[in-house]
């Protein structure tokens, strides 16, 4: 009997503990987003933060000499390119004035380092070391030198969460660079992407470049997204809702290697910098 009462007591205690943890989890879930971000940033600073900082520091030291050499070469390349681009820019301005075009989109680039990636198996988001204090806001496009990376979704004072293109809910309006066909980029399987909503009659070929179209208001036009790797035009019932025999099934390989991101740039669209301007709006 005594043993039996002990069991009942133990069970009640356990259920009480379980209820407490469930309540605590639900409480965390219903907290306002800003408080959640603050809690996450605070906990990160005292748990993963020091280790990631150490890892990043070691990585930086490892490649710094090679990187320096490589960057010197790049600077030379870009200097030469710059002469040519300046000429092009002046010509562009003259032509725009002639055609009476409206002023272009303007943007500022905020460089940021990756401080952490999701430790579990998903490649859906990464944490960068810039936040509201550095001018980052929610829904800002994030790129690197190879192309589009994603957008900011959660912003704390000194860190931000970047939603990668592989996140299931990620969408960006895009267009085929060659044929100017519009579509919507969404995640595919693994690290691949899909260019959806492209009718069967449209002209898209393997090897075509895919860039952001500028529609949708978040991503400026002309940012490289990837390259078409497969186009299926059969009028078959597909697993995707958006391709019920009306649309092409187009696979796109991202131009950015999302599994090994290090340095990224956050674009502050419509913020002017002296002497720089966005010239890709159609």
Partner 1 sequence: MLWGNVIFSKVLSGILVLFLLILFQSLLSGLVTIAGIKLDLAIIILVYLALRRGRNYGMIFGFLIGFLSDIFTPHTLGLGALVKCLIGFTLGSFKDNLYLESLYSKGAVIFLTLLLNDSLYYIITTGVSDSTFRVLSHYSLPSAFYTSVVGMLIFLVAAKIHQERLDAEKSSVQLE
Note whether 68 binds partner 1 by CB under 8 A.
Answer: no
What is the closest distance, in whole angstroms, from the C-beta atom of residue 203 to partner 1 in the complex? 27
Which of 159, 212 has the CB closer to partner 1? 159
What is the closest distance, in whole angstroms, from the C-beta atom of residue 121 to partner 1 in the complex? 4
Note whether 108 binds partner 1 by CB under 8 A.
Answer: no
Yes or no: say if 176 and 194 are a contact pair by the CB < 8 Å rule.
no
Q: Which residue has the tokens 């944490």?
A: 127
Contact positions with partner 1 (CB under 8 A) in 24-43: 24-29, 31, 33, 36-37, 39-41, 43
- In angstroms, the CA 121 to CA 189 distance is 14
Total binding residues toward partner 1, as defined by CB under 8 A: 51
Note whether 190 binds partner 1 by CB under 8 A.
Answer: yes
Contacting residue, 110, 112, 116, 204, with partner 1 by CB under 8 A: 116
Question: Quick one: how far is CA 281 from the chain centroid?
Answer: 21
Which of 156, 255 has the CB closer to partner 1? 156
- What is the chain's length? 282
What does the per-residue mask of binding to partner 1 show for 207-236, with x meaning CB under 8 A?
Answer: ------------------------------
What does the per-residue mask of binding to partner 1 show for 262-281, with x meaning CB under 8 A?
Answer: --------------------
Yes or no: say if 116 and 154 are a contact pair by the CB < 8 Å rule.
no
What is the closest distance, in whole angstroms, from the C-beta atom of residue 38 to partner 1 in the complex? 9
222 Rama class: left (phi>0) / alpha (psi -120 to 50) / beta: left
Contacting residue, 122, 137, 235, 271, with partner 1 by CB under 8 A: 122
What does the per-residue mask of binding to partner 1 show for 142-161, with x meaning CB under 8 A?
Answer: -----------xx-x----x
Note whether 109 binds partner 1 by CB under 8 A.
Answer: no
Yes or no: say if 172 and 225 are a contact pair by the CB < 8 Å rule.
yes
Binding site for partner 1 (CB under 8 A): 14, 17-18, 21-22, 24-29, 31, 33, 36-37, 39-41, 43-44, 47-48, 51-52, 54-55, 116-125, 127, 153-154, 156, 161, 168-169, 187, 189-191, 239-241, 259
């Amino acid at each position: 009997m005594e043993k039996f009462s002990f069991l009942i007591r133990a069970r009640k205690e356990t259920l009480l503990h379980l209820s407490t943890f469930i309540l605590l989890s639900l409480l965390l879930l219903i907290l306002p987003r800003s408080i959640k971000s603050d809690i996450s940033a605070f906990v990160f600073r005292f748990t993963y933060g020091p280790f990631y900082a150490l890892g990043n520091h070691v990585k930086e030291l490892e490649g710094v000499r090679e990187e320096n050499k490589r960057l010197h070469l790049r600077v030379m390349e870009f200097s030469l390119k710059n002469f040519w681009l300046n000429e092009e820019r002046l010509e562009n301005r003259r032509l725009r004035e002639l055609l009476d075009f409206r002023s272009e989109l303007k943007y500022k680039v905020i460089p940021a380092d990756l401080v952490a990636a999701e430790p579990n198996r998903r490649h859906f988001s990464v944490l960068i070391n810039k936040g509201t204090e550095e001018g980052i806001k929610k829904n800002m496009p994030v790129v690197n030198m190879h192309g589009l990376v994603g957008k900011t979704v959660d912003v704390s004072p000194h860190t931000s969460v970047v939603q990668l293109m592989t996140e299931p809910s990620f969408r960006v309006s895009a267009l085929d660079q060659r044929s100017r066909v519009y579509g919507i980029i969404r995640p595919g399987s693994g690290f691949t992407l899909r260019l959806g909503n492209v009718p069967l009659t449209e002209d898209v070929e393997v090897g075509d470049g895919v860039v952001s179209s500028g529609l949708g208001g978040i991503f400026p036009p002309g940012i490289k997204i990837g390259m078409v790797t497969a186009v299926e035009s059969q009028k078959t019932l597909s697993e995707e809702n958006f391709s019920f025999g009306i649309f092409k099934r187009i696979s796109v390989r991202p131009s950015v290697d999302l599994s090994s991101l290090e340095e990224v740039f956050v674009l502050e669209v419509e913020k002017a910098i002296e002497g720089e301007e966005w010239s890709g709006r159609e």
